[in-house]
Amino acid sequence: MARLTILRYPDPRLHTVARSVAAVDDRIRRLADDMLETMYAAEGVGLAATQVDVHERLIVMDTSDTRDHPIVLINPEITWRSDEMKVVEEGCLSVPTIYDKVERHASVKVQALGRDGETFEMHAEGLAAVCVQHEMDHLRGKVFVEYLSALKRDRIRTKMIKKTRDEQRDA
Ligand code: NI
């Protein structure tokens, strides 16, 4: 397995719309495994292929407290959304150190293919519901900061550009 480089906002590649995975083969399984390793190393709860500059519909997540329940979702589709909405503070591995409140459906049902290509349905609530909606946004080129005001987004963009520049200088 290998750790992958995570694109950082405002990298324009984060706005790429992902295409469907054509076949769940060894390449896709290796990508899923590498994404899980990258997500765990970065202490994230979810990661979309978009964030590692692969523009195919694949996400990985683990919202368990024990960090030992990896979930791979290939070509995920939301089949049901609760009417109830919930506001939760979110973060993103592509926007490190930034956390802010986003309103999403409190629970959703998602149908996807798993790592072995089998179809499964997941009923997500709580953190898992937040995570799967956040990651599926990435697949359509949307980063959570786009739910915030233009003023906040501009501040975050400036902060991230400076952070990246400082890190490159110190490297
Ligand atoms: Ni994210």
* 141 vs 62: CA distance, rounded Å: 21
pLDDT of res. 170: 87
Burial tier of 38 (Cβ tally within 10 Å: 0-12, 13-18, 19+): buried
Q: Which neighbouring-strand residues pair with 119?
A: 113
- Whole-number mean pLDDT of the chain? 97
pLDDT of res. 5: 98
* Annotated catalytic residue 56: no
Task: Flag whether pLDDT at 169 surpasses 80.
Answer: yes
Query: If you measure from the C-alpha of residue 47 to the centroid of ligand 1, how many angstroms do you get, rounded to a whole number?
Result: 6
**Catalytic pick from 121, 135, 146, 167?**
135
pLDDT tens-digit series, residues 149-163: 999 999 999 999 999
Query: If you measure from the C-alpha of residue 79 to the centroid of ligand 1, how many angstroms do you get, rounded to a whole number?
Result: 21
Phi, psi angle pair for 137, to nearest 5°: -60, -45
Task: Flag whether pLDDT at 1 surpasses 80.
Answer: no
pLDDT tens-digit series, residues 101-143: 999 999 999 999 999 999 999 999 999 999 999 999 999 999 9
pLDDT tens-digit series, residues 58-95: 999 999 999 999 999 999 999 999 999 999 999 999 99
When pLDDT is cut at 50, 70 and 90, the band that residue 45 belongs to is very high
pLDDT of res. 46: 98
Helices (H), 51-100: none
Query: If you measure from the C-alpha of residue 27 to the centroid of ligand 1, how many angstroms do you get, rounded to a whole number?
Result: 23
Query: If you measure from the C-alpha of residue 16 to the centroid of ligand 1, how many angstroms do you get, rounded to a whole number?
Result: 14
